[in-house]
Amino acid sequence: MARAHHYKRSKETPQLDITTFLNLMVVLIPFLLVTAVFSRITIQELDVPETAGGSAPDQPKVIVEIVVREKGLEIIEGNKVVKSLAKRQDGYDFGALSQFLAVLKDKYPTKEDATVLIEPDIAYEDVIHVMDAVKVAEVKAEAGDEVQKRPLFPELSIGDAP
């Protein structure tokens, strides 16, 4: 009868080799720390448009709305469209928007708020440019090439276009 040879196997726990992972961390952590210093996040403070209701104001309140449409921009003062800016081939005319809003700001110097209404499928970058143009106008100084920033309507509300 043949004997079965039973060899005792020594069961050693395998060692975990993490040197490759540590090499990756040594390179990755400084890279992430360096790039985190140069990244800048800007937060836009927005409000939801107010609905009609509450107590009646002492004097009629002027509403300034900028409607961003696929075909162009509309500036609404109160209940009527006072200016329409058609979309050019290279995009919206943000300079003309700021110039016209500067005229409105001269007309209503105490007004601080405006509403930006946006149609669906408008590019996010265009929305940000419109909000920047509504908040601040860049005005060239008469003497020299110096560009100054003039605040227009810094308190923005945002909503869906009708």
DSSP bridge pairs for 146? none
The domain total for the chain is 1
Q: Per the domain annotation, does 73 fall within a domain?
A: yes
- Does 36 map to a domain? no
**pLDDT for the residue 27:** 92
Half-sphere exposure of residue 9: CA atoms within 13 angstroms, side-chain side? 3
**Rounded to the nearest 10 degrees, what angle do helices 94-107 and 124-135 cross at?**
30
pLDDT beneath 50, residues of the chain:
none
C-alpha span between 146 and 82 (Å, rounded): 30
Tokens for 14, please give them: 């395998």
Task: Output the pLDDT for position 43.
Answer: 66
Instruction: Give me the pLDDT at residue 26, please.
Output: 93
pLDDT for 12 equals 77
Residue 53 confidence (pLDDT): 56
* Structure confidence by residue, pLDDT tens digits, 52-61: 555 555 555 7
On whether residue 56 sits in a domain, the answer given is no
CA angle 93, 97, 99 (to 5 degrees): 120
Domain span including residue 128:
61-160
Give 139's strand partners: 148
Predicted TM-score of the model (pTM)? 0.63
CB atoms within 10 A of CB 75: 21
Tokens of 156: 């923005």
Report pLDDT for 119: 92
Q: Is residue 114 part of a domain?
A: yes
Transcribe the chain into DSSP letters.
-PPPP-PPPP-PPPPP--HHHHHHHHHHHHHHHHHHHH-------EEPPPPS-SSPPSSPPP-EEEEE-SSEEEEEETTEEEEEEE-BTTB--HHHHHHHHHHHHHHSTT--EEEEEE-TT--HHHHHHHHHHHHEEEEE-SSSS-EEEEE---EEEEEE--
